[in-house]
Amino acid sequence: MFTGLIAEVGQITAVEPTGDGHLLTIRTRLASELSEGDSVAVDGVCLTATAVDGDSFRADAMNETLRLTSLAELRPPAAVNLELPLRAGDRLGGHIVQGHVDGVGRVASVAQDGFARRLQIEAPAALLRYVAHKGSIAVGGVSLTVAELGQRCFTVSLIPETLERTNLGTLAPGDRVNLEVDVLAKYVDRLIAR
Protein backbone atom coordinates (compact mmCIF):
# COMPACT_ATOMS: atom_id res chain seq x y z
CA MET A 1 0.00 0.00 0.00
CA PHE A 2 1.18 3.49 -0.87
CA THR A 3 0.04 7.06 -0.14
CA GLY A 4 0.72 8.85 -3.42
CA LEU A 5 3.37 11.05 -1.79
CA ILE A 6 6.41 10.70 -4.04
CA ALA A 7 9.72 10.05 -2.27
CA GLU A 8 11.95 10.79 -5.25
CA VAL A 9 12.04 11.14 -9.01
CA GLY A 10 14.29 8.37 -10.32
CA GLN A 11 15.83 7.91 -13.75
CA ILE A 12 15.36 5.02 -16.16
CA THR A 13 18.88 3.95 -17.16
CA ALA A 14 18.01 0.81 -19.13
CA VAL A 15 14.98 -0.93 -20.64
CA GLU A 16 15.55 -4.50 -21.79
CA PRO A 17 12.62 -5.95 -23.76
CA THR A 18 12.19 -9.68 -23.38
CA GLY A 19 9.48 -11.95 -24.68
CA ASP A 20 7.98 -11.88 -21.21
CA GLY A 21 7.98 -8.09 -20.71
CA HIS A 22 10.58 -5.41 -19.97
CA LEU A 23 13.39 -5.42 -17.44
CA LEU A 24 13.72 -1.86 -16.10
CA THR A 25 16.80 -0.44 -14.42
CA ILE A 26 16.16 2.66 -12.34
CA ARG A 27 18.74 4.93 -10.69
CA THR A 28 17.62 6.39 -7.36
CA ARG A 29 18.90 7.24 -3.88
CA LEU A 30 16.08 5.03 -2.61
CA ALA A 31 17.99 1.93 -3.79
CA SER A 32 19.84 1.92 -0.45
CA GLU A 33 16.48 1.31 1.27
CA LEU A 34 15.49 -1.58 -1.01
CA SER A 35 16.16 -5.30 -0.90
CA GLU A 36 15.34 -7.95 -3.46
CA GLY A 37 11.62 -8.72 -3.26
CA ASP A 38 10.60 -5.27 -1.95
CA SER A 39 7.71 -3.42 -3.55
CA VAL A 40 8.21 0.02 -5.07
CA ALA A 41 5.72 2.19 -6.98
CA VAL A 42 7.09 3.37 -10.34
CA ASP A 43 4.88 6.09 -11.86
CA GLY A 44 2.08 4.58 -9.79
CA VAL A 45 2.69 0.95 -10.79
CA CYS A 46 3.59 -1.44 -7.97
CA LEU A 47 6.67 -3.40 -9.09
CA THR A 48 9.03 -5.75 -7.27
CA ALA A 49 12.73 -5.04 -6.98
CA THR A 50 14.49 -8.06 -8.48
CA ALA A 51 18.03 -6.80 -7.91
CA VAL A 52 19.63 -3.89 -6.07
CA ASP A 53 23.08 -2.63 -7.00
CA GLY A 54 24.52 0.53 -5.45
CA ASP A 55 22.37 3.44 -6.59
CA SER A 56 20.04 1.41 -8.86
CA PHE A 57 17.46 -1.32 -8.75
CA ARG A 58 15.94 -3.57 -11.38
CA ALA A 59 12.31 -4.58 -11.75
CA ASP A 60 10.34 -6.69 -14.21
CA ALA A 61 7.29 -5.24 -15.93
CA MET A 62 5.31 -8.17 -17.34
CA ASN A 63 3.41 -7.92 -20.62
CA GLU A 64 0.08 -7.43 -18.78
CA THR A 65 1.54 -4.42 -16.97
CA LEU A 66 2.93 -3.01 -20.21
CA ARG A 67 -0.51 -3.32 -21.88
CA LEU A 68 -2.40 -1.62 -19.05
CA THR A 69 0.00 1.20 -18.13
CA SER A 70 2.31 3.75 -19.70
CA LEU A 71 5.45 1.84 -18.65
CA ALA A 72 5.89 0.38 -22.17
CA GLU A 73 6.72 3.91 -23.37
CA LEU A 74 9.64 4.42 -20.96
CA ARG A 75 13.08 4.95 -22.50
CA PRO A 76 16.30 6.20 -20.90
CA PRO A 77 16.71 8.81 -19.45
CA ALA A 78 12.99 9.09 -18.56
CA ALA A 79 12.15 10.46 -15.12
CA VAL A 80 9.79 8.32 -13.01
CA ASN A 81 7.96 8.99 -9.76
CA LEU A 82 9.05 6.58 -7.01
CA GLU A 83 7.43 5.71 -3.71
CA LEU A 84 8.25 3.04 -1.16
CA PRO A 85 5.35 1.24 0.57
CA LEU A 86 3.65 2.72 3.61
CA ARG A 87 4.97 1.35 6.91
CA ALA A 88 2.75 0.74 9.93
CA GLY A 89 2.84 3.89 12.02
CA ASP A 90 3.62 6.22 9.08
CA ARG A 91 1.38 9.19 8.37
CA LEU A 92 -1.15 8.75 5.61
CA GLY A 93 -0.62 12.17 4.04
CA GLY A 94 -2.09 11.43 0.61
CA HIS A 95 -4.74 8.76 0.18
CA ILE A 96 -4.76 4.97 -0.04
CA VAL A 97 -3.01 4.03 -3.28
CA GLN A 98 -2.54 0.37 -4.13
CA GLY A 99 -0.21 0.68 -7.10
CA HIS A 100 -2.79 -1.18 -9.20
CA VAL A 101 -3.24 1.16 -12.16
CA ASP A 102 -6.85 1.25 -13.41
CA GLY A 103 -6.08 2.77 -16.80
CA VAL A 104 -4.19 5.35 -18.77
CA GLY A 105 -5.31 8.93 -19.34
CA ARG A 106 -4.06 11.53 -21.79
CA VAL A 107 -3.12 15.12 -20.92
CA ALA A 108 -5.57 17.34 -22.82
CA SER A 109 -4.23 20.72 -21.71
CA VAL A 110 -1.75 22.40 -19.39
CA ALA A 111 -2.34 25.95 -18.10
CA GLN A 112 -0.76 28.21 -15.50
CA ASP A 113 -3.07 29.47 -12.76
CA GLY A 114 -1.09 31.85 -10.59
CA PHE A 115 1.69 29.81 -8.96
CA ALA A 116 -0.20 26.57 -9.72
CA ARG A 117 -0.37 24.55 -12.93
CA ARG A 118 -3.65 22.98 -14.02
CA LEU A 119 -3.68 19.70 -15.92
CA GLN A 120 -6.81 18.61 -17.74
CA ILE A 121 -6.70 14.85 -18.28
CA GLU A 122 -8.94 12.82 -20.58
CA ALA A 123 -9.85 9.48 -19.03
CA PRO A 124 -11.85 6.43 -20.08
CA ALA A 125 -15.54 6.64 -19.15
CA ALA A 126 -15.16 3.41 -17.16
CA LEU A 127 -12.79 5.25 -14.80
CA LEU A 128 -14.51 8.64 -14.74
CA ARG A 129 -17.51 7.05 -13.03
CA TYR A 130 -15.29 6.67 -9.94
CA VAL A 131 -13.92 10.22 -10.02
CA ALA A 132 -15.56 12.82 -7.77
CA HIS A 133 -15.17 16.59 -7.63
CA LYS A 134 -12.78 17.29 -4.72
CA GLY A 135 -12.12 13.54 -4.47
CA SER A 136 -8.74 11.82 -4.64
CA ILE A 137 -7.05 10.31 -7.69
CA ALA A 138 -3.52 9.07 -8.34
CA VAL A 139 -1.93 10.47 -11.51
CA GLY A 140 1.46 8.93 -12.26
CA GLY A 141 1.39 7.65 -8.70
CA VAL A 142 0.87 11.13 -7.23
CA SER A 143 -2.07 11.64 -4.85
CA LEU A 144 -4.06 14.61 -6.16
CA THR A 145 -7.41 16.31 -5.57
CA VAL A 146 -9.85 16.65 -8.45
CA ALA A 147 -10.41 20.38 -9.03
CA GLU A 148 -12.96 20.04 -11.86
CA LEU A 149 -14.89 17.19 -13.40
CA GLY A 150 -16.20 17.10 -16.97
CA GLN A 151 -17.93 14.55 -19.21
CA ARG A 152 -14.69 13.13 -20.66
CA CYS A 153 -12.01 14.59 -18.42
CA PHE A 154 -11.00 15.86 -15.02
CA THR A 155 -8.69 18.66 -13.94
CA VAL A 156 -6.10 18.70 -11.16
CA SER A 157 -4.18 21.72 -9.91
CA LEU A 158 -0.52 21.26 -9.03
CA ILE A 159 1.19 23.38 -6.39
CA PRO A 160 4.87 24.32 -6.81
CA GLU A 161 5.91 21.63 -4.29
CA THR A 162 4.30 18.92 -6.45
CA LEU A 163 5.86 20.36 -9.60
CA GLU A 164 9.28 20.28 -7.96
CA ARG A 165 9.08 16.83 -6.33
CA THR A 166 7.44 14.83 -9.14
CA ASN A 167 7.68 14.39 -12.90
CA LEU A 168 4.21 15.91 -13.44
CA GLY A 169 5.72 19.32 -14.15
CA THR A 170 7.17 18.01 -17.42
CA LEU A 171 3.83 16.79 -18.80
CA ALA A 172 2.56 18.29 -22.06
CA PRO A 173 -0.66 17.83 -24.06
CA GLY A 174 -0.78 14.35 -25.56
CA ASP A 175 1.32 12.70 -22.85
CA ARG A 176 -0.09 9.51 -21.36
CA VAL A 177 -0.34 9.07 -17.57
CA ASN A 178 -1.19 6.17 -15.30
CA LEU A 179 -4.43 6.61 -13.36
CA GLU A 180 -5.63 4.88 -10.21
CA VAL A 181 -9.05 5.84 -8.91
CA ASP A 182 -9.92 5.78 -5.23
CA VAL A 183 -10.31 2.13 -4.20
CA LEU A 184 -13.12 3.08 -1.81
CA ALA A 185 -15.24 4.28 -4.74
CA LYS A 186 -14.78 0.91 -6.47
CA TYR A 187 -15.87 -0.99 -3.35
CA VAL A 188 -18.93 1.21 -2.88
CA ASP A 189 -19.88 0.72 -6.54
CA ARG A 190 -19.56 -3.05 -6.20
CA LEU A 191 -21.66 -3.16 -3.02
CA ILE A 192 -24.40 -1.02 -4.57
CA ALA A 193 -24.44 -3.16 -7.72
CA ARG A 194 -25.22 -6.24 -5.63
| Mean local confidence (pLDDT), 112-130 | 97
8-83 and 103-193: identical CATH topology: yes
Contact assessment for residue 4 and residue 83, using Cβ atoms and an 8 Å cutoff: yes
The mean per-residue pLDDT over the stretch 154-168 comes to: 97
The answer on pLDDT for 88 being more than 90 is no
Mean pLDDT computed over 69-81: 97
Burial state string for 161-173 with b = 16 or more CB within 10 A and e = fewer than 16: ebeebbbbbebee
Is residue 11 within 8 A of residue 77, CB to CB? The reply is yes
Q: Under 8 Å CB-to-CB from 185, ≥6 apart: which residues?
A: 130, 131, 132, 135
Q: Residue 103 has what pLDDT? A: 96
Domain borders along the chain are 8-83, 103-193
Neighbouring-strand partners of residue 41: 46, 83
Where does the pLDDT of residue 92 fall: very low under 50, low under 70, confident under 90, or very high at 90 and above?
confident
**More confidently predicted of 189 and 26:** 26
Nearest Cα to 142, choosing from 30, 43, 25? 43
Q: Are 179 and 43 in contact (CB under 8 A)?
A: no
Q: How is domain 103-193 classified at the CATH fold level?
A: Elongation Factor Tu (Ef-tu); domain 3 (2.40.30)
The pLDDT confidence band at residue 151, using thresholds 50, 70 and 90, is: very high
State the chain's mean pLDDT as an integer: 96
Q: How far apart are CA 156 and CA 178, in angstroms?
A: 14
**For residues 61-78, average pLDDT:** 96
Q: How far, in Å, CA of 192 to CA of 90, rounded?
A: 32
Which residues are 155's β-sheet partners?
120, 148
pLDDT at site 149: 97
Query: What is the dotted CATH code of the domain comprising 8-83?
Result: 2.40.30.20
Per-residue confidence (pLDDT) for residue 91, from 0 to 100:
86
Preceding omega of 85 cis (within 30 degrees of 0): no
Q: What is the pLDDT of residues 2-32, one digit of tens each?
A: 999 999 999 999 999 998 999 999 999 999 9
Separation between Cα atoms, residue 44 and residue 48, nearest integer Å: 13
